[in-house]
Amino acid sequence: MRGRFVRSSLLAGVVAFGVVGCAPYAGQELESASTLAPSSASERINPSIWPDLNDPVPTDPAVEARVAQLLAAMSLEQKVGQIIQADIGSITPEEAATYHLGSVLNGGNSAPGGKPFATGPEWLAAADAFYRASTQNRSDPDTPIIPIIWGSDAVHGHNNVIGATIFPHNIGLGAMRDPALMRRIGEITAIEMRVTGLDWTFAPTLAVPRDDRWGRTYEGFSEDPDLVASYAAPLVEGLQGEIGDPDWLRGDHIVATAKHFVGDGGTDAGRDQGDATVSEENLRDVQAAGYVPAIEAGVQSIMVSFSSWNGKKITGHRPLLTDVLKGRMDFGGFLVGDWNAHGQVEGCTNTSCADAVDAGLDMFMAPDSWRGLYDTTLGQARSGVISQDRLDDAVARILRVKLRSGLMDAGLPSQRANAGRFELLGAPEHRAVAREAVRRSLVLLKNDGALPLRQGQTILVAGDGADDIGKQSGGWTLTWQGTDTTRSDFPGATSIWDGLREAAAERGAEAVLSADGSYTDRPDVAVVVFGEDPYAEFQGDVPDLAFRDENDALGILRRFQEAGVPTVSIFLSGRPLWVNPHLNASDAFVAAWLPGSEGDGVADVLFGDTDFTGTLSYSWPRSALQTPLNIGDPGYDPLFPLGYGLSYASGGTVPELPEDSGIDTANEAPGTQVFARGEPGAGYRLVGEAAGRTIPVAQLAETSLDTLSARRVDLGAQEDAWRFTWSGPAAVSAVPNQPLDWTRESNGDFLLALDLRRGDSVPDTVTLSLGCGEDCAGRLDIAPALSALVPDTEATIAIPLRCFVVAGADAARLTTAASIEATGPLVLDIGRIALVSDDGADRTCPTGPATAAWSQE
C-alpha cells in the first residue's frame, strides 16, 4: 500500500491548485502585510537579564571590505533574492538563478529528480547544477556573482541520502552523555554532507522538550537544559570546526544551524508549532540554554521557531530576535526562518511578510512560496516598507557566512574537499562510530537475569521492530516522516536482528527470527523488538504517553512468559512511554530509542561484550497522563528518574507495576488514526446512517439498515476491514468524541487517506466529507477517484486536507472526521482512515468537477 501516486492524465487538465497556487488563498496572499501586530505582554521583554555575550568570531577586515563591496554592487533584485530560500522540489536551478535566490533547501520529502530520496551521485549532480546556474545563468551580468548555499536536515547523520551513516536520534545521544563522541558524530556528518556537495545542515536541534507528547521529543537531547547545553558546542564544533582554524566551515566542515530559537520544546501540551506560555526567565534558563554555548562555539546560523511565546509568533518577535539574540547575545551569523513559518506571523501570508524581516529574520524559508514572496518583498523593499538598512544587514549577514565558509571562491561543489568520495558515505569507520553511539545510548530499565545473552543459548528474536531498519531509524530518515522506505533503501545498514544473528553465530549460540513469536522448538530466551512506528514533526504529537501497541507485542511477551521462556524487550521509541504491562511481561527491558543504521550495536551490549552505560535523558512516566514530567518539578515522582539506568555490574530489578494507564478510554482525545485494522481509532466511533437512523458499525453486522449493511472482511490481514454495501442512500461516518481542530494538519500538507477496495460498480457521485456542524461541511466527490481504481484490488485514496477546507470545512471544529455518502449500488471495503503526511507528489484540489488524481496504486 505504499505505492507512489498515480499521476492521472486527468491531472493535466486540472488547473494547478494547491502546491504552489492554491487558488482560494491567492486573494489573501496579495494583501499587504505591513500592518504591525499590536504589542502584547510578551513583547515587554528585558534583554538585560539575558546572557551578555560577545560574538566569538573576530571581525575580519578583508571579509568586511568584501561584504561592503558586494553590497554596493548588488541590485535590489539580487539583495531580495539573497534573503529567500526555496525548496528544490519547487524550483529549477535556472529559476533560482533568474531570481537570484541566496539559498535552496531540500525539505524532508524532496530530493534531486523529484524523488523522495536519492543516491550520493544524484545529490552531488544537483548541487553542481544549482551552483552552476547561480554563477553562470545570470540575468544581469553586471551584478556580482554570489553562489547559492544549500541547506539540508542532516539531523542524525546525512539522513536524506541512500547509504549514509544514520546515527541514533538525539534522545539516544543524550542518554550516552558523551560530548566527545558527540563531536565525532558532528565531524562525520559534515564529511558525509561534503561528499554530496552540500554546505549547510539544519542541526543541531537545541530544543529542550518538556512535554513528551511532542512529536519532536526525540530531536532533543534531553529535558535537562544542562545536558542540552553540554552538547551544543561539541556538536557545533564537530560540524563546523573551530573558529580560527584554517578549515573552519570548510574542508571537512560545513555550516551548522542551531534550531529552533526559541521555546519549541516548551509549548503547552507539547503541541507542535504551539505556544510556550512560560516566563522570560524560563525561556532563558530552560529553552535557550543550548544557544549560549552554540553561539560561543561560533554557530553561523540559527533557525527561528515556528512556535509562539505567550501568544506571539517568534518569527515576528523583534525583541527576541533582534534585541536579545542579535543585540544582547551578539549573534553574528544569520537567522533563517522555518518552513513558511513567516506565513503564520500575524498579518502575514506565505508570500508576504515584511514584519518578519523587520523583526530580524535574515532569510525566509519559502519552499514553495518563494516566487510570490520574491515579488512582494521586492515591492516592499522598493517602497521602503522594508528598510534599506535592514535589508542590507540581512544580506551582509548571509554574505559573511558565505565568505567565511569559502563558498564564494570554492568553485563547483563536486570539486571541493571530499566531494564525490562516495566510499565515505557509510564508510566502515563512520559506521563504527555510530555503532559505538548505539551501544552507549541503550538504557537498561529492568533485568531479572535474562541478560546478558549467553553462549549456547537458542535465542528467538521476535517483534515487528526486529528486522526493520526504517522503524529503528525513526523520522527524518530518507523521508520526512521516516515512512515509506524498504530494506533495500539502506545498503550497508544492519537491523537489530542482523546484529543478533551474527553475534550469536560468533558465540556458538543460535538465533532464530520469528516476527510473530511463533516457534516449534522452545527457545531458551526470547528477544522481542517493538515500539513506535516512525514519525516526525506534528504527526508524532500524541494525546497522552500510552504506548499504542498496534502489533500486540504484549501478546507475544505474555505467550513467552506463559511458556516459561525468559523475555528481553528492546523498546524502540522517540520518547519515554507508559509501558507498565510490557515491563511486567519482560524479564529484561532495554530502552533503545531510535538507534539508526547500526542495529548491531544492540547485540554488542546484549551479549555482554560491553556493559550498559546509558542513562535516561528524559524522565519515564508512572502513568500515561503523567506529563509534563521533568526533573526539578515540585513533587517529581517518575517511574524512572532522569539519570536512571541499570548495568550488569550494578544489577537491579523492578517490582510488579500497576497496569492502569490512567487513561479514560471513553473520553480519549481523538488522534490522527481515525479507523485502522477494522477498529475505530482512540476517540472515534464509526457509524452507519440511513433514513434518519444511526447505528454503530459493529452492530451493523447483525442489524442492517434498510440501505446499508456491513461485515468484516480481509483486506491486508485477517478481518482487518469492513465491507459496506449500499443498496440505496446511506452514509458511513467516523465521528470524533469531541470536535477536532485540524487547522495545523490542513496547513501542514496532510492528507486524508483511505485504504480500500471497491466492488464492480461506482455510482455517479460518492461524497466524502468533513463535517463541522449544522450546514457546515467540506464535501468532495470521490466517484472519479474510485472509478479510477481496479475493482477488487486494494488501493489508497489520499486527499489533501486543505481541499476539504477549500470546499467549506472549518478545520478548527470538525464533528465528522470522514463521512462517505452514496446512493448505491456500491460495495466498499475499508481498512483504514487516517491522516498521513504528504509524500511530495503533486496533488490538486478539484476546481470544478472531481478528480481521479487522488487514487494511489
Q: Are 50 and 324 in contact (CB under 8 A)?
A: yes
Is residue 202 close enough to count as binding ligand BGC by CB under 6 A? yes
* Smaller CB separation from ligand BGC, 240 or 305: 305
Nearest to 195 by CA among 418, 412, 27: 418
Written in H, E and C, the secondary structure of 111-149 is CHHHCCCECHHHHHHHHHHHHHHHHHCCCCCCCCCCCCE
Q: How far is the CB of 24 from ligand BGC (least distance, A)?
A: 19
Q: How far is the CB of 259 from ligand BGC (least distance, A)?
A: 6
Is residue 541 close enough to count as binding ligand BGC by CB under 6 A? no
Q: Are 825 and 763 in contact (CB under 8 A)?
A: yes
Position of minimal CB gap to ligand BGC: 107
Beta bridge partners of 261: 304
What ranges in 461-579 are assigned the alpha helix state H?
Answer: 469-473, 496-506, 553-562
Nearest to 649 by CA among 435, 444, 436, 509: 444
Is residue 533 close enough to count as binding ligand BGC by CB under 6 A? no
The binding track of 21-50 with respect to ligand BGC, each residue x by CB under 6 A or -, is: ------------------------------
Q: Which of 231, 480, 722, 724 binds ligand BGC (CB under 6 A)?
A: 480
Q: How far is the CB of 489 from ligand BGC (least distance, A)?
A: 17
Is residue 263 close enough to count as binding ligand BGC by CB under 6 A? no
The per-residue b/e assignment along 558-585, b for 16 or more CB within 10 angstroms, e otherwise, is bbbbeeebbbbbbbbbbbbbbbbbbbbb
CA distances 150 to 88, 103, 105, 127, 226, Å, are 9, 6, 5, 8, 31
Q: Which of 79, 184, 213, 259 binds ligand BGC (CB under 6 A)?
A: 259
Nearest to 172 by CA among 475, 443, 533: 443
Q: Which of 181, 436, 838, 856 binds ligand BGC (CB under 6 A)?
A: 838
Beta bridge partners of 336: 303, 363
Q: Which of 18, 107, 209, 688 binds ligand BGC (CB under 6 A)?
A: 107
| Residue 338 annotated to the active site | yes
Whole-number Å distance between alpha carbons of 126 and 104: 11
Whole-number Å distance between alpha carbons of 60 and 369: 35
Is residue 153 close enough to count as binding ligand BGC by CB under 6 A? yes
* Smaller CB separation from ligand BGC, 305 or 569: 305
Annotated catalytic residue: which of 464, 537, 689, 745?
537
HSE at residue 136, side-chain half, CA atoms within 13 A, is 10
* Smaller CB separation from ligand BGC, 313 or 723: 313
* Smaller CB separation from ligand BGC, 224 or 537: 537
CA 415 distance to own-chain centroid: 32
HSE at residue 538, side-chain half, CA atoms within 13 A, is 18
The per-residue b/e assignment along 172-206, b for 16 or more CB within 10 angstroms, e otherwise, is bbbbbbbbebbbbbbbbbbbbbbbbbbbbbbbbbb
Q: Pick the stretch among 105-113, 589-597, 685-693, 720-728 that binds ligand BGC (CB under 6 A).
A: 105-113
* Smaller CB separation from ligand BGC, 268 or 392: 268
Is residue 749 close enough to count as binding ligand BGC by CB under 6 A? yes
Is residue 199 close enough to count as binding ligand BGC by CB under 6 A? no
Q: How far is the CB of 350 from ligand BGC (least distance, A)?
A: 12
749: buried, middle or exposed (CB in 10 Å: 19+, 13-18, 0-12)? buried
Q: Are 315 and 341 in contact (CB under 8 A)?
A: yes
Q: Pick the stretch among 29-37, 102-110, 125-133, 174-182 that binds ligand BGC (CB under 6 A).
A: 102-110
Q: How far is the CB of 749 from ligand BGC (least distance, A)?
A: 5
Is residue 212 close enough to count as binding ligand BGC by CB under 6 A? no
Beta bridge partners of 708: 726
Whole-number Å distance between alpha carbons of 616 and 172: 9
CA distances 692 to 95, 168, 731, Å, are 56, 54, 10
CB within 8 Å of 418: residues ≥ 6 apart? 191, 194, 195, 251, 252, 424
The binding track of 321-340 with respect to ligand BGC, each residue x by CB under 6 A or -, is: -----------------xx-
Q: Pick the stretch among 9-17, 103-111, 489-497, 572-580 that binds ligand BGC (CB under 6 A).
A: 103-111
Q: How far is the CB of 163 from ligand BGC (least distance, A)?
A: 20
* Smaller CB separation from ligand BGC, 544 or 749: 749
Q: Pick the stretch among 2-10, 13-21, 95-103, 106-114 that binds ligand BGC (CB under 6 A).
A: 106-114
Is residue 296 close enough to count as binding ligand BGC by CB under 6 A? no
Provide the pairing of β-strand 200-201 with 149-152: parallel
* Smaller CB separation from ligand BGC, 107 or 680: 107
Annotated catalytic residue: which of 192, 212, 224, 338?
338
Q: Which of 748, 771, 831, 846 binds ligand BGC (CB under 6 A)?
A: 748
Q: How far is the CB of 367 from ligand BGC (least distance, A)?
A: 7
Q: DSSP letter string over 713-729?
A: E-SSSTT-EEEEEESSS
| Residue 484 annotated to the active site | no
Whole-number Å distance between alpha carbons of 589 and 532: 15
Is residue 108 close enough to count as binding ligand BGC by CB under 6 A? yes
Q: Which of 109, 301, 661, 844 binds ligand BGC (CB under 6 A)?
A: 109
Is residue 274 close enough to count as binding ligand BGC by CB under 6 A? no
* Smaller CB separation from ligand BGC, 215 or 621: 215
Q: Are 179 and 231 in contact (CB under 8 A)?
A: yes
H/E element, 444: strand 443-447
Q: Are 292 and 229 in contact (CB under 8 A)?
A: yes
H/E element, 235: helix 225-240
3-state secondary structure of 767: strand
Q: How far is the CB of 152 from ligand BGC (least distance, A)?
A: 8
Q: Are 690 and 705 in contact (CB under 8 A)?
A: yes
* Smaller CB separation from ligand BGC, 494 or 746: 746
* Smaller CB separation from ligand BGC, 178 or 745: 745
Q: Which of 280, 533, 537, 794 binds ligand BGC (CB under 6 A)?
A: 537
Total number of residues that touch ligand BGC (CB under 6 A): 15
Provide the angle, in degrees to the nearest 10, between the axes of the packed helices 179-195 and 428-441: 150
Whole-number Å distance between alpha carbons of 572 and 589: 11
Give, as one character, the DSSP assignment of residue 341.
G
Q: How far is the CB of 712 from ligand BGC (least distance, A)?
A: 35
* Smaller CB separation from ligand BGC, 211 or 338: 338
Q: How far is the CB of 566 from ligand BGC (least distance, A)?
A: 42
Q: How far is the CB of 754 from ligand BGC (least distance, A)?
A: 21
Residue ranges that bind ligand BGC, judged by CB under 6 A: 105, 107-109, 153, 202, 259, 306, 338-339, 480, 537, 748-749, 838
Residues with a catalytic annotation lie at 338, 537
